[in-house]
């Protein structure tokens, strides 16, 4: 009990002591695989589903706070979560609102945690689990997620989601904002215009 209290205070302190806020080119994304390549969840029968919370972008972070919400036809029961690194400190639960203090200032991608759901096999097409702001946090900016930079300032990042039983109208696209692409389709004219 005492250790849990110390951890909760430490995680909250990182987020509450943060200074001025700004927006960065980053994304707090949800995926159905640990590699962060799939954000579509097939709920076709009674089974367990793991959703991964991964911070992507270019700026390092020291902490963050968020909540996972099951909405829009996703019939999933929250079972619990586990942080990706045992040195991360947490305060709260992912389904109600959680603050996570990372062990150090980490450069993306940062695997924050995995959240376990029980699927009932009755999720609708285009259902959704989305990540949103912690409703109990004093740091609010619409649907943006509060993160803490390495110099203890609040930085806002965009939220992601997982789509249940997607069809052609709602396939979830993997967010790659801020992640350098080694090759992109282009034309000679576009390349040439970079040097004019």
Q: Is residue 9 over pLDDT 80?
A: no
Does 24 reside within a domain? yes
Domain boundaries, position 139: 2-176
Predicted TM-score (pTM) of the model is 0.79
| 95-132 confidence digits (pLDDT tens) | 999 999 998 999 999 999 999 999 999 999 999 999 99
> Integer distance in angstroms from the first to the last C-alpha of the chain?
64
Provide the domain count of the chain: 1
- Within-domain flag for 100: yes
Q: Which two tokens stand for residue 6?
A: 């110390």
| Residue among 125, 143, 124 nearest 133 (CA) | 143
pLDDT at 147: 94
Whole-angstrom CA distances from 193 to 96, 181, 186 are 49, 19, 11
* The three-state (H, E, C) secondary structure of 32-70, written as one string: CCCCCCCCEECCCCEEEEEEEEEEEECCCEEEEEEEEEE
68-89 confidence digits (pLDDT tens): 999 979 999 999 999 999 999 9
Which CATH number is 98's domain given?
A: 2.60.40.680
């Amino acid at each position: 009990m005492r250790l849990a209290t110390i951890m909760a205070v430490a995680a909250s302190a990182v987020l509450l002591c943060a200074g001025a806020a700004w927006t960065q080119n980053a994304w707090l994304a949800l995926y159905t695989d640990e590699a962060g390549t799939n954000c579509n969840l097939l709920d076709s029968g009674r089974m367990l589903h793991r959703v991964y919370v991964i911070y992507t972008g270019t700026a390092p972070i020291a902490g963050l706070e968020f909540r996972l919400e099951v909405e829009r036809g996703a019939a999933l029961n929250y079972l619990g979560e586990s942080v990706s690194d045992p040195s991360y400190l947490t305060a709260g639960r992912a389904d109600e609102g959680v603050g996570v203090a990372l062990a150090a200032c980490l450069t993306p991608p940062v695997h924050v945690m995995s959240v376990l759901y029980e699927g009932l096999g009755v999720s609708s097409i285009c259902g959704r689990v989305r990540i949103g702001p912690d409703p109990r946090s004093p740091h609010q900016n619409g649907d943006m997620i509060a993160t803490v930079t390495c110099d203890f300032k609040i930085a806002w990042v965009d939220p992601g989601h997982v789509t249940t039983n997607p069809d052609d109208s709602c396939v979830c696209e993997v967010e790659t904002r801020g992640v350098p692409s080694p090759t992109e389709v282009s034309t000679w004219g576009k390349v040439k215009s970079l040097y004019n």
